[in-house]
Amino acid sequence: MARRRARRFKVAVVGATGVVGRELVALLAERGFPLEELRLLASERSVGEALEFGDEERRVERLEGRALAGLDLALLCAGEAVSRAWAPAALAAGALVVDTSAAFRLAPEVPLVAPELNPEALEDLGPGRLVACPDGAALAASLALAPLARAAGLRRVVVVACLSASHAGRGGLAELDQQTRDLFNFRPARVERFPHQVAFNCLPRCGPFEADGATALERGLADEVRRLLELPGLPLGVSMVQVPVFSAHGLALHLEPGRPLSPEEARELLGRAPGLRLVDSPAEERYPLATEAVGQDEVLVGRVRADAGGLALWATVDNARRGAALNVLQIAERLARGPLAR
């Protein structure tokens, strides 16, 4: 009896030329996702650009309605405005949609998914057929907090998230690069994408301020972590800082567990949790570094220590790869074995 051929899928990456889109295209090839067809879609200015896909080059096509026809899966990596405009079109065309933007993360009818934490949310998507991905900083914080929350509960958490320039996309990377060149050549740093010079500086502002002095990104991180951990009432304070690092976020996490939790027990829990790699040997100068997180498929955690009646730790994450693209692909892989395969 002939073996049944494994199903393959028609997939589009929307925003393929962006920071996250490029990572996702590379990961689709690297992990051998079962593709029948891959469409790389972007705005008019990127049409015809060549992207590497394994040993091949693929050309970028224009994002338009007909480019969404016949898709099984649309992976949206182009920002909130594009997602709000094109997710409904992709759904109407019959695709299942996975979105990396903030557009749908807090919509109660849309599952917010990190496969290491809540894969069951993908089992029955209902008529919406739309999945949201958390922000990279929220994903890293949730993966680090989850094993501690399961073991001891959480009474309160404070997060300081140091965001890399890549969080602002290719424009953010280009501005940090240009400002660095300007300053090394004794020229004034040109400021366009960020509100102030970011090179050799730290900006305690990531996104516009709201009436209470917080930003939407800070509020979103807190709400996303609560949602991923299924702790809607968790007191969680967030401050975000834009730092002069090209790639990889850093997060300082300070938490008060529900019961006493020693640093030794916390290290053991973190060391065996999915999606994490423990890097914690201060005597040997080993702790999570942004430079070591780049290109990695795990969140690096370390500097675990007692802190004012609770615990403190430091985490780093490649926000484009681990914090976004890999999460999208893990969701796609599970959908390919579940709802898409049925």
**Residue 284 lies inside a defined structural domain of this protein:** yes
Q: Are residues 148 and 295 both part of a single domain?
A: yes
pLDDT of residue 3: 55
22, 16 contact by CB (below 8 A):
yes
Q: Are residues 243 and 303 both part of a single domain?
A: yes
Domain CATH code at residue 196: 3.30.360.10
**Residue 342 lies inside a defined structural domain of this protein:** no
Q: Are residues 96 and 110 both part of a single domain?
A: yes
Give me the count of residues in the chain. 342
**Residue 283 lies inside a defined structural domain of this protein:** yes
| Global pTM value | 0.94
Question: Tokens for 207?
Answer: 């996104």
Q: Are residues 144 and 233 both part of a single domain?
A: yes
pLDDT of residue 127: 75
281, 175 contact by CB (below 8 A):
no
Domain CATH code at residue 87: 3.40.50.720
Dihedral sign (CA 325, 330, 334, 337): positive
Q: What is the mean pLDDT of residues 152-160?
A: 97
**Residue 3 lies inside a defined structural domain of this protein:** no
Q: Are residues 188 and 56 both part of a single domain?
A: no
Q: Are residues 112 and 188 both part of a single domain?
A: no
For residue 15, which phi and psi values (nearest 5 degrees)?
Answer: 85, 35
| Owning domain of residue 221 | 137-319
Q: Are residues 118 and 38 both part of a single domain?
A: yes
**Residue 1 lies inside a defined structural domain of this protein:** no
Q: Are residues 21 and 153 both part of a single domain?
A: no
Give residue-wise pLDDT tens across range 198-219: 999 999 999 899 999 999 999 9
**Residue 224 lies inside a defined structural domain of this protein:** yes
Q: Are residues 147 and 88 both part of a single domain?
A: no
Q: Are residues 115 and 88 both part of a single domain?
A: yes
**Residue 17 lies inside a defined structural domain of this protein:** yes
Dihedral sign (CA 134, 136, 138, 141): positive
pLDDT of 257 strictly over 90: yes
Q: Are residues 117 and 146 both part of a single domain?
A: no
Kindly report the average pLDDT of the chain as a whole number. Answer: 95
Q: Are residues 105 and 190 both part of a single domain?
A: no
Give residue-wise pLDDT tens across range 299-333: 999 999 999 889 999 999 999 999 999 999 999 99
pLDDT band of residue 4 (cuts 50, 70, 90) is low
pLDDT band of residue 1 (cuts 50, 70, 90) is very low
305, 312 contact by CB (below 8 A):
yes
Give the number of domains in the chain. 2
Question: Tokens for 325?
Answer: 């693209």
pLDDT of residue 124: 77
**Residue 281 lies inside a defined structural domain of this protein:** yes
Percent pLDDT > 90 in the chain is 92
pLDDT of 146 strictly over 70: yes
pLDDT of residue 167: 94
